[in-house]
Structure 1
Amino acid sequence: ARVNAKDNMWLTPLHRAVASRSEEAVQVLIKHSADVNARDKNWQTPLHVAAANKALKCAEIIIPMLSSVNVSDRGGRTALHHAALNGHVEMVNLLLAKGANINAFDKKDRRALHWAAYMGHLEVVALLINHGAEVTCKDKKGYTPLHAAASNGQINIVKHLLNLGVEIDEMNIYGNTALHIACYNGQDSVVNELIDYGANVNQPNNNGFTPLHFAAASTHGALCLELLVNNGADVNIQVKLAFYLFSFTLSYFAYLRSLETAVTSTASL
């Protein structure tokens, strides 16, 4: 049998062995000259697959044979991105110890910290920050880890980042703060936390819209509306709402789709 034969997804036996966390199979395949740098259709190597599948022992076998642990897949994600996205603390530790670039960014300029924050992996978030991850990093749309956590309702991540002193009213390229984003997505616990921490409830974005407008536009923002009004939101601010909400909805759902697509295309088999 050809040790580096690829299936219809361009996966080799080594990819499959790593995905099943079979150290013995990995060792046998490598002994018979399996290509540790082989890429599948998503340009993912066996290390990407190991990182996504918590195959720690397999990664330990493969890494010494690699020239770099920072190879990126089709989406620009490294093994560290995949480990962070999936919340694998020990794998993150291993990759960092082996020289993983903690601030490597994918094709949308998202770091491992963005993904860990979005998915709510607090231990990974803390580990990355303790190893020097840039807490204020922004992706191409200006979203910070705080924006990412707020958008997905990850209250523990939001609390952790706020306790570290990140700028609570930091804006993305549209001028939206974490409070805008949490309100639009109906993340009332995050909204409550942000308000308690001093977020500006009347902060206008680039088009003059405040978090109150976003809560009003949301199909699940009733409690957010109440929280804002009870904490000083100006109900008299008027803007040309209909056009902007349409354009914002399109851009925001495009952002969410990009996150969901990336999550579903992670290297788990």
Structure 2
Amino acid sequence: MLIHKTEDVNALDSEKRTPLHVAAFLGDAEIIELLILSGARVNAKDNMWLTPLHRAVASRSEEAVQVLIKHSADVNARDKNWQTPLHVAAANKAVKCAEVIIPLLSSVNVSDRGGRTALHHAALNGHVEMVNLLLAKGANINAFDKKDRRALHWAAYMGHLDVVALLINHGAEVTCKDKKGYTPLHAAASNGQINVVKHLLNLGVEIDEINVYGNTALHLACYNGQDAVVNELTDYGANVNQPNNSGFTPLHFAAASTHGALCLELLVNNGADVNIQSKDGKSPLHMTAVHGRFTRSQTLIQNGGEIDCVDKDGNTPLHVAARYGHELLINTLITSGADTAK
């Protein structure tokens, strides 16, 4: 194939990509070589500031990466998110490409705009082999991003148990907290990652550890309707009546949340106090009234929920249900004997 002298090898498409970007994305080493010898700019940046090297790495083409580097591709080039080719390799499981790039870098701990290192990206995407490689090459296992989240937080949140185990075996801090006080257990519990939750509990992490809002892993699991996690945490002895900074217990969260019905039943069956009140006097029954959780209000009443309890403003659950217009709930409360004269 010949490139005619009249052709512009650096012509841009609508995304500011050159033919070299395309060849790199396709991993075509021969065309890459030909384009460069015909005057293609090796470090041209597209709209997102991605270079052909970023593209070659994303396509996991070791050969394309080697050709570009032979022609002085910038291994430290950053895109608009400040990601280098190593970040892209880590996110895309491009282990062979990373092995080519790493010896040319002064550090594997460079962070992107969000403060994430290549290790964060590898952990987030569940790439065990890449995590192993980065750790072997000196990655900081406890590096934190802009929100103080470690690689372990991300692996736990995404449910990558093998990566979680690997990081912990290499000395990752199991009790690490981000800026809002979330631990890896909070992260896993909130996203329903039951196997990671079990693993962390087996390691003996503090089950009732709180974040800056006073919420435990059980609070978060209830808020997000993660019933399997709620079951595991309660079986393991989590405090079902732990109040957060506002005085809300996991039962308040289960009463309010969109998918908390089964969580609420699990808590009630595990001895949660159905009449506990928050700092503003709201009981779990008040929470069902605010959010119109009709079935859950019945469960609470059947288990001793005080139907006419008043909050700090003197409102009963019936007042609250009426204010929010939840007709089914109003009927349930009245049928169950709510005092309409209050």
Aligned to 2:240: 201
User: In the superposition, relative to structure 1, how do residues 124 and 218 fare at CA in structure 2: closer, same or farther (>3 Å)?
Assistant: same
Question: 1:1-269 to 2 correspondence within 5 Å?
Answer: 1-238=40-277
Q: Is the 8 A contact 1:76 1:105 kept in 2?
A: yes
Q: SS of 1:71's equivalent?
A: coil
Please give the alpha-carbon distance, in whole angstroms, between the structure 2 residues aligned to 1:263 and 1:29: 75
User: In the superposition, relative to structure 1, how do residues 198 and 116 fare at CA in structure 2: closer, same or farther (>3 Å)?
Assistant: same
Please give the alpha-carbon distance, in whole angstroms, between the structure 2 residues aligned to 1:137 and 1:71: 21
User: In the superposition, relative to structure 1, how do residues 262 and 233 fare at CA in structure 2: closer, same or farther (>3 Å)?
Assistant: closer
Please give the alpha-carbon distance, in whole angstroms, between the structure 1 residues aligned to 2:145 and 2:331: 15
Q: SS of 2:123's equivalent?
A: helix
| TM superposition shift of 1:219 | 1.2
| TM superposition shift of 1:265 | 50
User: In the superposition, relative to structure 1, how do residues 99 and 148 fare at CA in structure 2: closer, same or farther (>3 Å)?
Assistant: same
| TM superposition shift of 1:254 | 27
Q: SS of 1:136's equivalent?
A: coil
Q: What TM-score results when the alignment is normalised by the length of structure 1?
A: 0.88
Unaligned runs of 5+ in 2: 1-39, 278-323
- 1:185-243 superposed Cα distances (whole Å, 9 cap, x missing partner): 000000000000000000011111100000001111010000000001000112xxxxx
User: In the superposition, relative to structure 1, how do residues 259 and 57 fare at CA in structure 2: closer, same or farther (>3 Å)?
Assistant: farther
Moved more, 259-268 or 96-105: 259-268
- 1:138-172 superposed Cα distances (whole Å, 9 cap, x missing partner): 00000000000001000000000000000000000
Q: Is the 8 A contact 1:153 1:189 kept in 2?
A: yes
Q: SS of 1:168's equivalent?
A: coil
Q: SS of 2:325's equivalent?
A: helix
User: In the superposition, relative to structure 1, how do residues 77 and 261 fare at CA in structure 2: closer, same or farther (>3 Å)?
Assistant: farther
User: In the superposition, relative to structure 1, how do residues 189 and 260 fare at CA in structure 2: closer, same or farther (>3 Å)?
Assistant: farther
Please give the alpha-carbon distance, in whole angstroms, between the structure 1 residues aligned to 2:85 and 2:238: 44
Q: What TM-score results when the alignment is normalised by the length of structure 2?
A: 0.70
Q: SS of 2:133's equivalent?
A: helix
User: In the superposition, relative to structure 1, how do residues 255 and 18 fare at CA in structure 2: closer, same or farther (>3 Å)?
Assistant: farther
User: In the superposition, relative to structure 1, how do residues 107 and 14 fare at CA in structure 2: closer, same or farther (>3 Å)?
Assistant: same
Please give the alpha-carbon distance, in whole angstroms, between the structure 1 residues aligned to 2:337 and 2:61: 20
| TM superposition shift of 1:79 | 0.1
| TM superposition shift of 1:103 | 0.2
| TM superposition shift of 1:26 | 0.3
Please give the alpha-carbon distance, in whole angstroms, between the structure 1 residues aligned to 2:125 and 2:151: 10
Q: Is the 8 A contact 1:182 1:190 kept in 2?
A: yes
Please give the alpha-carbon distance, in whole angstroms, between the structure 2 residues aligned to 1:257 and 1:12: 59
| TM superposition shift of 1:175 | 0.3
| TM superposition shift of 1:255 | 29
User: In the superposition, relative to structure 1, how do residues 49 and 76 fare at CA in structure 2: closer, same or farther (>3 Å)?
Assistant: same
Please give the alpha-carbon distance, in whole angstroms, between the structure 2 residues aligned to 1:263 and 1:70: 62
User: In the superposition, relative to structure 1, how do residues 160 and 215 fare at CA in structure 2: closer, same or farther (>3 Å)?
Assistant: same
Q: Is the 8 A contact 1:82 1:266 kept in 2?
A: no
User: In the superposition, relative to structure 1, how do residues 262 and 107 fare at CA in structure 2: closer, same or farther (>3 Å)?
Assistant: farther
| TM superposition shift of 1:264 | 48
Q: Is the 8 A contact 1:52 1:266 kept in 2?
A: no
Higher relative contact order (CA 8 A, sep 6+): 1
Query: Which consecutive aligned stretches of 4+ in structure 1 deviate over 4 angstroms post-superposition?
Result: 253-269
User: In the superposition, relative to structure 1, how do residues 122 and 265 fare at CA in structure 2: closer, same or farther (>3 Å)?
Assistant: farther
Q: Is the 8 A contact 1:212 1:233 kept in 2?
A: yes
Report the number of matched residues.
Answer: 255
User: In the superposition, relative to structure 1, how do residues 194 and 202 fare at CA in structure 2: closer, same or farther (>3 Å)?
Assistant: same
Q: SS of 1:25's equivalent?
A: helix
| TM superposition shift of 1:257 | 32
- 1:93-126 superposed Cα distances (whole Å, 9 cap, x missing partner): 0000000000000000000000000000000000
Please give the alpha-carbon distance, in whole angstroms, between the structure 1 residues aligned to 2:142 and 2:325: 24
User: In the superposition, relative to structure 1, how do residues 126 and 221 fare at CA in structure 2: closer, same or farther (>3 Å)?
Assistant: same
| TM superposition shift of 1:261 | 41
User: In the superposition, relative to structure 1, how do residues 254 and 236 fare at CA in structure 2: closer, same or farther (>3 Å)?
Assistant: closer
| TM superposition shift of 1:262 | 43
Please give the alpha-carbon distance, in whole angstroms, between the structure 2 residues aligned to 1:265 and 1:20: 63
